[in-house]
Chain A
Amino acid sequence: MTSEMIDPTVEASTAAPGPETTRVATRRLSKWTLYSRRYARNRGAVAGLIIFALLVLFAIIGPLIARYDHVELDFLALSTGPTAEHWFGTNNAGNDLFAQVAVGLQRSLMIAVSVSVGVTIVSALVGTAAAYFGGWTERITLLVIHFMMVIPSFLILAMISNKSGGDWRVIALIMIFVIGWYFPARVIWTLALSLREREYVSAARYMGVRGFRIVLRHLLPNIGSLLVINFTLGVVNAVVAETGLSFLGFGVKIPDVSLGALIGAGSSSLITSPWLFYFPAAALTLLTVSMALVADGLRDALDPTSAAGGRA
């Protein structure tokens, strides 16, 4: 992909004078200007980005401005609704829900982002390497991938995660290697199959570039935009999977909180104290929907053939 692109719609001031009055432009747009312009056309995507930024801000600043710590118990306010003292209310043990939601959001975000980074790296390496090296490497990789598809991976995940004692770092690692990597790896493998036949790959090979270097320098950069989109969607998937796990009690454990665990705790008193469900559920839904909108906008912005965003 070229780093500079010509925008034909911008009229040139530096163009040489000629017989025509209007001229085709020569001013160059950097690719980042182009991408951001295309992204900004999609109003939903911009809204998604803003919501996501606000959520990240809330997760970072929330615990600092909260009046209570998320494990602190206020025995004078048990199961109260939102008040000036407790902005999001309290649960029946006297935990401040505002602090819990902020910390839980932070934890869910940390798990989701690290899982998605891990999944993107592993799946990209496995997928492209399998496609490039072919032969036995490819056959064995595909066999493993198909196997992972047959094994009910959520069950394995729940089993291992339950044993891990609720440490979020262990859970994130398990999520990468048990449920995350194989599906994106297969998609990337399919795409890389056509890339390995390209002239520049052959050229690199005849120049004596080593196999793994070709994968890193020639194949991976060409699926870059796909990886960016996969990463954003991976965050959504990881948040949803983590929520499911923690909701069932197989994920992070007390005193650590995540949004899933909070919803699980709040669901037992859905009628009597519904705010325990509303706030974590709202944070969670905003997080997943905003990330999905961002992914949608990125797909249109990064895809050179997409017409959804109009002309650049």
Chain B
Amino acid sequence: MNVYPAQRCVGDPAHLCKRERIITLIKYLVRRALGWLLMIVVATNITYFLAWGFLDPRSNYVGRRPPLTEEQIVNTLAPRNLSDTVPLIERWWTWLTGILLRWDWGVSPTGGSVNEQVAYRMWVSAELVLGATILTTVLGIALGVYTASRQYKLADRIGQATSIITMNIPIVVAAFAIVLLAIGLNDATGVRIFYVTGNASRGVEGFFPVLIDVLQHLTLPTIALVVIGYAGIHFLQRSLLLDNIGADYVRTARAKGLTKQQAIRKHALRTSLIPVATQVAFTIPAIFTGAVLTETIFAWNGMGKYFIETITKNDIHGTVAVAAFGAVLTAIGAILADVAVVVLDPRVRVS
């Protein structure tokens, strides 16, 4: 299979070729998505069994005063499909059919619906992860281009030194350092500029007050994620661009009269963006892992916090839902990477 179906395209008007190309691309993406879907299904089921191996809802009731009888525990857990008196394979089947037939991901040991939790928390995390991903990418690429066109000059040296340090600061340290700085700033100005906990204040209404409130909460965790994330993209973009600046086609562009900046922007950058796009798409799950720590530190009620709560509360259905969410993020990242490569690289023939 081929994005340029050569035989039929030759001599055709350009727009026809383009349409065929888009149709083939969509077919290809659908096939890839189906492959990923299969992977997600298998991975989620494996996690279900793993979770039963390492989490025990029964242990939530150990040490209760007054102690619960065996019968009481079973009676509480059995309707929630969490009782180990039922054979594992039967529990699995109930869980799986619940998802397939009713899109019901089960309940926690205390009876709360997993669907509700995920549906709410997903957007809290998305707010953080999306903004951080976009900023990380833009900053990384911009710095990469800037330093690559000034290789071994002062700006490049400073950029390299800063990036190698920020890239290796553990996110926990970075986040708390930012908290300390923000508290210092709040104290110095006497105004509460930044909130260091939570994702929104209660009782704020109106478009602009809400926007300002969101920014006050969002800024610090986003900075924490961006500070540790941008450097990876900076280094990749810089080294790829340096490889391309010396290439023949860039020299040709210069010879035709483009300035160095134009040649870099129009020719070298496009080629070197391809692997960067792939890397960005594949770092989405990594940013999600980073968000687990960031959400804990800044007390955001997102998926990351949910991940910790489900493990500590032996919430098997919740844990599996978080795993499935992570797997979906990986798949979305991989498919976005495919799309980016096809869009950016005119030479790619999908097969």
* Chain A residues within 8 Å of B, Cβ to Cβ: 44, 146-147, 149-152, 154-156, 158-160, 162-163, 236, 239-240, 243-244, 247-250, 260, 263-264, 267, 270-271, 274, 277, 281, 284-285, 288-289, 291-293, 296
Contact = CB atoms under 8 A, between A and B. Distances in A.
Interface in B16-47: 36, 39-40, 42-43, 46-47
B176 A270 contact: yes
A267 B180 CA distance: 10
Interface in B287-332: 288-289, 292-293, 296-297, 307-308, 311-312, 319, 322-323, 326-327, 330-331
B346 interface: no
Given A152-B323, A263-B173, A270-B180, 9 more contacts: A150-B36, A152-B330, A163-B54, A244-B289, A247-B293, A263-B172, A270-B179, A289-B165, A291-B168
Contacts of A250: 311
Q: Decide if the interface of chain B is mainly helix, strand, loop or mixed.
A: helix
18 contacts: A151-B46, A154-B292, A155-B307, A155-B311, A159-B54, A236-B168, A243-B172, A244-B171, A244-B289, A263-B173, A264-B172, A271-B183, A277-B180, A284-B170, A285-B168, A285-B169, A288-B169, A289-B165
B43 A247 contact: no
Given A154-B292, A156-B50, A270-B176, A44 B161 contact: yes
A150 B40 contact: yes
A151 B168 contact: no
Contacts of B327: 150-152
B55 A159 contact: yes
Contact of B43 (A147, A154, A285): A147
B86 interface: no
A274 B183 CA distance: 12
A271 B172 CA distance: 16
A263 B311 CA distance: 21
A244 B285 CA distance: 16
A97 to B, nearest CB: 16
Interface of B: 36, 39-40, 42-43, 46-47, 50-51, 54-55, 161, 164-165, 167-173, 176-177, 179-180, 183, 285, 288-289, 292-293, 296-297, 307-308, 311-312, 319, 322-323, 326-327, 330-331
B46 to A, nearest CB: 7
Given A239-B170, A263-B173, A270-B176, A292 B164 contact: yes
Contacts of A274: 180
B322 A44 contact: no
A140 to B, nearest CB: 15
B164 A296 contact: yes
A288 B170 contact: yes
Contact of B168 (A152, A263, A288): A288
Nearest to A143: B39
